[in-house]
DNA sequence: TCGTGTGAACTATTTCACAGCA
DNA sequence: TGCTGTGAAATAGTTCACACGA
């Protein structure tokens, strides 16, 4: 593998920035809501507000798709819904399989937004024989032995992994071998996939940790300097609407802004520890002496 | 606020970039795994592989935390686990409440990684009286009437919303009013919160749509002159994919790289359509005339 | 007159590449 | 000798601000 350092001619894709692609679903949702209310047109300002972004960004995003608006007026809701749907590939049907029908898998299977927008749950797969045949969300669970057959029979190219961490990689490998080229991973593991396969991950634990980081900062700031922000006792600021005004003002800064959900995707972890491990138990000697750390104790952070 | 464009002394936070913060949990997980295997030290190369990033990025990330490595050797696993945990604020206990104990809420409550790493499920809350008292994951569900009391009694500052979309904003408002300053939202809605409150969202539908976008690109590249795309009687613009160009045959490129999970957070949608709606059924007249689109019909994209 | 579309400026993030320490 | 730590260069993404068309 190695070879060049994966320079890659850079973000191919017709040129729509990833950041923009990630926001299209947001716009689409807001537009769909407007459409349902039969609103004929929206301005970038209004739509941006509904989608939770600022209008300049929205206009820039749309500019990558083409010129679908009308100066002095705004955007035609229906037309834009169509254009974005098409751009996202939602005008076609995407059969998906969900592997791992535990609590989470069942929740995903029942998730309404799943069926809408072109996604169709082609099958629910679980390794537990006892689950086989049991209907979840109206769909009978199938045993994982069938995985390959299901994938090819249905032309599935998107797989959702909701298995325990340990089973994720093996399942992923099988999915990929069977032809899946896009994976949504809910298991707390870094998946290694061949080039050309996309992986996106959703990780509760990571999200919480990011929140904790900011939460900790807030707490520290209280006493430090600016008091304004977190108003004592309970109750958070009141200003809710305040921010309104649009653009400027509010903003707020400490907004998480944009944080990668990431996706080791494609490139994927190359060597990924792979070998090694052989070490096995051994080294009960515990870890390093008290390195620079004045504290040898070390925390806890119990593993999952 | 208004004043300068919210310059804010800049990202307060000691200066650790958001992108880095978002990766710390990843490193932590990899390190914890190594720690369990009693591996004493790791090089940036190894750890990076395990975390699914490249070593340069990892070293740069760590450099924001301080100089915790040893040249020529690597990083002391235990020590690094501690440092990152501390940085993320995981050395303290974070009580969290999960609101909305449906399929998803139950899955979250049962999620192991939840309890670990300093997070503790302080309470499960649901609006359905029938749920009250029923234990989920060993914790009895409490009625939402108790929400405020639970928040303050337990000093909860992090809330998880797993309710249906419609209930999300009201629940969010109550959580915030009760003192919660960090919210993890699983409901497919843009939450509006006051300044100082962080919101992160996890949205299955959005992730799938992003995958679909890339999947579509892959399909189109295969045959270059897209054929499979949506014929659709309507369809305004022509060229659709076409442009693709394909650049590097090797495809690859379309790696999602880093895409924001985002978080409208803070600023949040101000006006957000709010009112309106009253329109109700009315306007069956359908939307605007056939604007530039030669197609008045418009697609489907059924709403959720 | 109003709001889109967009070049340009600015900010954030990633990658390079190499000096320097254990 | 090997690997960290980090300026500097290269990219990516956001925001500004304003010309232009309906």
CATH assignment of the domain containing B53: 1.10.10.10
Q: Report d(CA A114, CA A192) in Å as an integer.
A: 25
Q: Does the C-beta of B258 come within 7 A of strand C?
A: yes
Q: How far is the CA of B71 from the C1' of C20 (A)?
A: 9
User: Tokens representing A177?
Assistant: 């071998």
- Point out the domain boundary residue: A204, A219, A244: A204
The rounded Cα B304 to chain-centroid distance in angstroms is 20
Does residue A273 form part of some domain?
Answer: no
Does residue A41 form part of some domain?
Answer: yes
Element (H, E) at B124: strand B119-126
Residue A260: strand, helix, or coil: strand
10 Å CB burial of residue B289 (0-12, 13-18, 19+) is exposed
Q: Report d(CA B126, CA B98) in Å as an integer.
A: 9
Query: Is A101 in the same domain as A177?
Result: yes
Q: Report d(CA B26, CA B84) in Å as an integer.
A: 10
Interface test with B, best of A109, A206, A225, A237 (most B CBs within 10 A): A206
Query: Is A105 in the same domain as A200?
Result: yes
Q: What residue is closest to D1 (Cα–C1')?
A: B72
Query: Is A193 in the same domain as A105?
Result: yes
The answer to whether the CB atoms of A304 and B112 lie below 8 A apart is yes
Which residue among A207, A252, A283 places its CB closest to the CB of B38?
Answer: A283
Q: Does the C-beta of A55 come within 7 A of strand C?
A: yes
User: Tokens representing B34?
Assistant: 């190594």
Quote the domain boundaries for residue A146. Answer: 94-204
Smallest CA–CA distance, residue A298 to chain B, in Å, is 6
Query: Is B168 in the same domain as B105?
Result: yes
Residue B171 contacts residue B150 (beta carbons within 8 Å)? no
Residue A171 contacts residue A101 (beta carbons within 8 Å)? no
User: Tokens representing B285?
Assistant: 């007249």
Query: Is B98 in the same domain as B199?
Result: yes
Does residue B151 form part of some domain?
Answer: yes
For residue A133, what is the domain's CATH number? 3.40.50.720
Closest CA in chain A for residue B114: A205
Per-residue pLDDT of chain B (304 residues; tens, 9 = 90+): 333 333 333 333 468 999 999 999 999 999 999 999 999 999 999 999 999 999 999 999 999 999 999 999 999 999 999 999 999 999 999 999 999 999 999 999 998 777 667 899 999 999 999 999 999 999 999 999 999 999 999 999 999 999 999 999 999 999 999 999 999 999 999 999 999 999 999 999 999 999 999 999 998 766 543 333 333 333 333 333 323 332 322 233 333 333 333 333 333 333 333 333 333 223 323 333 333 433 322 232 223 2
The answer to whether the CB atoms of B22 and A260 lie below 8 A apart is yes
Residues A68-98 as b/e (b if ≥16 CB within 10 A, e otherwise) read bbeeeebbbbbbbbbbbbbbbbbbbebbbbb
Q: What is the mean pLDDT of residues A141-149?
A: 98
Listed residue (B200, B207, B127) closest to B163, CA to CA: B127
Ligand-binding annotation for A100, yes or no, is: yes
DSSP H helix total and E strand total for chain A: 9, 10
Query: Is A119 in the same domain as A166?
Result: yes
pLDDT digits (tens, 9 = 90+) for A13-42: 468 999 999 999 999 999 999 999 999 999
Listed residue (A70, A137, A103, A14) closest to B292, CA to CA: A70
Q: Does the C-beta of A244 come within 7 A of strand D?
A: no
User: Tokens representing B154?
Assistant: 């337990």
Does residue A228 form part of some domain?
Answer: no
Query: Is A145 in the same domain as A76?
Result: no
Residue A116: strand, helix, or coil: coil
Q: Does the C-beta of B3 come within 7 A of strand D?
A: no
- Point out the domain boundary residue: A138, A172, A204: A204
Q: Which residue has the higher pLDDT, B304 or A291?
A: A291
Number of residues that this document lists for chain B: 304
Query: Is B108 in the same domain as B200?
Result: yes
10 Å CB burial of residue A44 (0-12, 13-18, 19+) is buried
Query: Is B80 in the same domain as B113?
Result: no
Does residue B186 form part of some domain?
Answer: yes
Does residue A281 form part of some domain?
Answer: no
Does residue B173 form part of some domain?
Answer: yes
A74 close contact with B: CB closer than 8 A: no
Listed residue (A258, A252, A247) closest to A237, CA to CA: A252
Closest CA in chain A for residue B289: A40
The answer for residues whose C-beta is within 8 angstroms of residue B49's C-beta and 6 or more apart is A269, A270, A271, A272, A273
Does residue A6 form part of some domain?
Answer: no
Query: Is A58 in the same domain as A105?
Result: no
CA distances from A114 to A216, A274, B304 (A): 35, 35, 8
Residue A68 contacts residue A80 (beta carbons within 8 Å)? yes
Bridge partners of residue A95, in order along the sequence = A120
Query: Is B83 in the same domain as B127?
Result: no
Query: Is A134 in the same domain as A195?
Result: yes
- Point out the domain boundary residue: A204, A220, A251: A204
Q: How many folded domains does chain B comprise?
A: 2
The answer for residues whose C-beta is within 8 angstroms of residue A57's C-beta and 6 or more apart is A23, A48
């Amino acid at each position: 593998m190695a070879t060049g350092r994966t320079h890659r001619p850079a973000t191919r894709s017709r040129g729509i920035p990833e950041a923009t692609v990630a926001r299209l679903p947001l716009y689409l949702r807001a537009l769909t809501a407007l459409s349902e209310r039969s609103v004929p047109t929206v301005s970038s300002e209004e739509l941006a507000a509904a989608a939770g972004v600022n209008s300049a960004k929205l206009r820039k995003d749309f500019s990558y798709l083409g010129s679908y608006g009308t100066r002095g007026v705004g955007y035609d809701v229906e037309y834009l819904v169509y254009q974005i749907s098409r751009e996202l590939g939602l005008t076609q049907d995407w059969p998906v399989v969900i592997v791992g029908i535990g609590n989470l898998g069942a929740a995903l299977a029942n998730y309404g937004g799943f069926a809408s927008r072109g996604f169709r749950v082609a099958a629910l797969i679980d390794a537990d024989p006892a689950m086989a045949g049991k209907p979840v969300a109206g769909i009978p669970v199938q045993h994982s032995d069938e995985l390959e057959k299901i994938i090819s029979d249905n032309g599935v190219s998107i797989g959702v992994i909701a298995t325990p961490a340990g089973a994720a990689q093996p399942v992923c490998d099988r999915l990929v071998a069977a032809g899946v080229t896009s994976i949504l991973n809910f298991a707390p593991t870094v998946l290694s996939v061949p080039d050309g396969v996309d992986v996106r991950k959703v990780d509760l634990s990571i999200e919480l940790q990011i929140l904790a980081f900011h939460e900790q900062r807030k707490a520290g700031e209280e006493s430090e300097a600016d008091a304004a922000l977190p108003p004592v006792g309970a109750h958070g600021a009141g200003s809710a609407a305040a921010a309104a005004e649009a653009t400027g003002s509010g903003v707020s800064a400490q907004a998480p802004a944009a944080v990668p959900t990431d996706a080791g995707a494609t490139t994927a972890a190359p060597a990924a520890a792979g070998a090694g491990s052989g070490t096995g138990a051994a080294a009960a000697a515990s870890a390093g002496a008290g390195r620079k750390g004045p504290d040898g104790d070390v925390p806890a952070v119990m593993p999952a």
